[in-house]
Structure 1
């Protein structure tokens, strides 16, 4: 009887201690999502090649942005991992602290922006040393819906990045 009570106390103490650990120290607990997961049921992603058929100049205007068909709230408050490309908005030193994560190269700069439900505003406390415009990355962090307007586009989602990792282009099989 004493051993079972002691085992239960140890177990409860361990659970309590685990809750004090920061989220990023815990095991790799995140949900892998893809850009199509951000669309409402029945909606489809327009391939980048077709999106690029719009006005193709150096100054794509937010007014040319296709209307969004809505956002999904399935992953609000969840830790997710989403691959994409960086369009920098704010820097700290030589590192990016705020950027738009986009599903394909050229989005928001060379072609009209994708709909708001295909753009994610990423913020990070630790500046990310981007290798250049449109670097492919995996972003892991707390995800949610958030209507944001920038000089480039309207954005439907936000992600507070715990971790940003380079994503090898040869792995980009989407």
Structure 2
């Protein structure tokens, strides 16, 4: 996995997400898979990796919602955790926007991309998508790796 860079010109990540959000709203209704692929390509991620996360997180269901034992909530296709809501709000993305599969896919890919930029292009960065403790990160990364391998074997990516 290569370390992705934000490619939308602007004055920082908040501007980038804001521009990206309105670009996505202008799109016609695209298939979830296309949004996942587009988001992965935009952030220079492996499309099968992003698909594996979406499949694991929501079963590819854009309206999935899950409440966590710590009181937070996971929303949509990529199960964006409510701890991200203040950060996303600064970029003009409200929690209800995450019900849009394309917005959710791009936000999830941005989170993964940010982890890779911060941690490095490794499975620990993938584990950090879901967990903060090293043990939970390892378990999550192993689950995603298994799904990623299955997608690789099936040739699911374009």
Q: TM-score, normalised by structure 2?
A: 0.31
Return the structure number with greater helix share.
Answer: 2
Higher RCO, 1 vs 2 (CA within 8 Å, ≥6 residues apart): 2
Q: TM-score, normalised by structure 1?
A: 0.29
Give 1 or 2 for the bigger CA radius of gyration. Answer: 1
